[in-house]
Amino acid sequence: MKTMNNLKKMTGFFLSLVMLLSMSACNAENQEVNEEEGFKPALDTSSECSIRVAGGYDNFEALEVEFDRFNEYYPNVELEYTKVDDYANMIGTVLGGNDAPDIYVNYSWMYGRDQYKASIDYAENLADPALGLDLDCIRSNIILNTDDGSLPMVPVFSNTYGMLVNQSIFEKEGLSVPSTYDELVEVCNAFREKGYENPLMGFSKAETTSVFTLTTYPYFCSTVADDGEAVEKLNSLDASAGEYIRPSLEKITQFMNDNCVNLDACDEIEDNYDAVILRFFEGDIPMMTCSGDTVSGTKKREGRSDAFIAEPFTYAFVPVPMSNEGAVFLDMSNLQFSVNKNSSNLDMSNEFMRFLITSQELNEMAQNKGLMSPTKDLSFNSTYAAFGDVPASRILSPEEIGLTEDAVKQLRMAVYSVGRGEMTVDEAVAAYGSFEQ
């Protein structure tokens, strides 16, 4: 009897074990299926048509990779990228022509400006739930908020301001990448003591991404982000709004007085792209201010730098800490796509957008292009990972603040003039609204 009971117990145990293993295998199989769900075609995969995408890039290899990936689902759909010269001024005319693109590049700064009205008017509302775009995968603060709640464009790349850091130098010298302004000054002094003549450099001419703008604009946004009245006066170029830029002008004055940069050395950098990258690749510059656009060109230029080839080093892109509260991540859209609502291939154009607007595809395209992804996860790319660590309270977007390009230009010219010693802080404050556009 005892033997029979033991046999029953053992049989029950083995049956339970088999059931448990079966359930585990089933769960694993279901999990694998869920993980591999990804994009599922919603149209007839044998469909034949041609989709044209228009933009201002000379070439767009990263997008063409996405074309190839889309063709795995729709092999008979021909996708083509076309460059339009003088894109911002010509896209409206192109959209009204007989050979209008199905999908086209758009920019948030075009919204609300009469000369670019066609670029918005021709755009389909991509927020329509029927289209099925996974907009939740994109950081909400860089999605354009229109007055009527529609979405004429969706980000495919994003951008920000910061500095390239030579991680190998920091490691060699036993120093840490600064996270506050005081640490930035201290690390610059420490590098000088170790024989580095230019601890921090940047392009210094009066252009969008000068060292003055790259360091000060994120800081400026933090000073007006919660002040609607200030933003309204700044946007209207009200002369009294000059007082709102005073803290930023005082900050750039402090930055220059703390000898963080040597302008004479910076003046030797001829442009804010190739020259910035190649100077950084010389290997003796711990920190180089630039934008994400410039960072996108680093990979291709590693092989063009004899110094980098001879002594390669690791590098990353990080925010510039201009206050002791920490650095600001100025989150901006870089490139956005719109669908031409008059497209003769509207369904397939929307299908391509549904395919593209996912974390997987957007991250893949950003990685290939070398730009920052617009998705919520920045950890996948070590170059930009530091921006993913910035606290939400210090992530700011001009889209949400509401600053216009005209107001930003006034700030740029003011900080440039003060930074170079061409104007005093008081003079630049008084000149707000009158700087040449």
Confidence (pLDDT) at 437: 64
Residue 3's contacts (CB-CB under 8 Å, 6 or more residues apart) are none
Please indicate, yes or no, whether residues 154 and 165 belong to a single structural domain of this protein.
no
Say yes or no: 222 and 350 in one domain: no
Between 8 and 428, the more confident residue is 428
Position 17 scores a pLDDT of 41
CB-based burial of residue 317 (10 Å sphere; 0-12 exposed, 13-18 middle, 19+ buried)? buried
What is the structure's pLDDT at 222?
96
Query: Is the residue at 403 inside a domain?
Result: yes
pLDDT in tens, 356-394: 999 999 999 999 999 999 999 888 889 999 999 999 999
Total domain count, the chain? 2
pLDDT at 39 over 70: yes
Same domain, 403 and 343: no
Residues 117/371, Cβ–Cβ less than 8 Å: no
Strands 287-291 and 161-166: antiparallel
Residue 409 predicted with pLDDT over 80: yes
- In this predicted structure, the answer to whether residue 36 has a pLDDT above a threshold of 50 is no
Do 67 and 202 fall within a single domain? Answer: no
Residue 281 sits in the same domain as residue 203: yes
What value does the mean pLDDT take over residues 329-352? 97
> Could you give the 3-state DSSP secondary structure of residue 413?
helix
Residue 34 included in any domain:
no
Confidence of residue 398 (pLDDT cuts 50, 70, 90): confident
For residue 311, being part of any structural domain is answered with yes
**Is there a domain that residue 40 lies in?**
no
Residues 115 and 169 grouped into a single domain: no
| Residue range 9-18, pLDDT digits in tens | 444 444 444 3
Mean pLDDT of 274-303: 96
Whether residue 2 is contained in a domain is answered as: no
In this predicted structure, the answer to whether residue 19 has a pLDDT above a threshold of 50 is: no
Q: What are the respective helix, strand and coil percentages of the chain, to the nearest 5? A: 50, 15, 35
Mean pLDDT of 35-43: 78
Tell whether 193 and 310 lie within a shared domain.
Answer: yes
For 410, the domain range is 161-331+387-430
Whether residues 139 and 234 fall in one domain: no
Do strands 315-318 and 161-166 pair parallel, antiparallel, or not at all (unpaired)? antiparallel
Look over the chain and give the mean of its residue pLDDT values, rounded to a whole number: 91
State the average pLDDT over residues 139-161. 94
Q: 200 pLDDT exceeds 60? A: yes
3-state secondary structure of 84: coil
CATH number of the domain residue 54 falls in: 3.40.190.10
Distance in angstroms (rounded) separating the CA atoms of residues 316 and 382:
7
85, 139: one domain: yes
Q: What is the mean pLDDT of residues 428-434?
A: 97
| Same domain? 153 vs 165 | no
Question: Does a structural domain hold residue 182?
Answer: yes
Q: Are residues 250 and 141 in the same domain?
A: no
Is pLDDT at 30 greater than 80 in this prediction? Answer: no
> What pLDDT score was predicted for residue 206?
83
Residues 190-211 have a mean pLDDT of: 94
**1 pLDDT higher than 60:** no
Residue 155 has pLDDT above 80, yes or no: yes
166: pLDDT strictly greater than 90: yes
Residue 21 within any structural domain of the chain:
no
CA separation, residue 417 to residues 253, 291, 360, 413 (Å): 11, 20, 44, 6
Report the pLDDT value the prediction gives residue 21, as an integer from 0 to 100: 41
Of the ranges 180-194, 203-217, 335-349, 413-427, which one carries the lowest mean pLDDT score? 203-217
Name the pLDDT band for 399 (thresholds 50, 70, 90). Answer: confident
Mean pLDDT across the stretch 223-233?
96
pLDDT of the residue at 37: 63
Q: What is the pLDDT of residues 239-262, one digit of tens each?
A: 999 999 999 999 999 999 999 999
Is the pLDDT score of 2 beyond 50? no
Number of helices (H), then strands (E), belonging to the chain: the values are 19, 11
**Does residue 279 register a pLDDT over 70?**
yes
Q: Are residues 100 and 168 in the same domain?
A: no
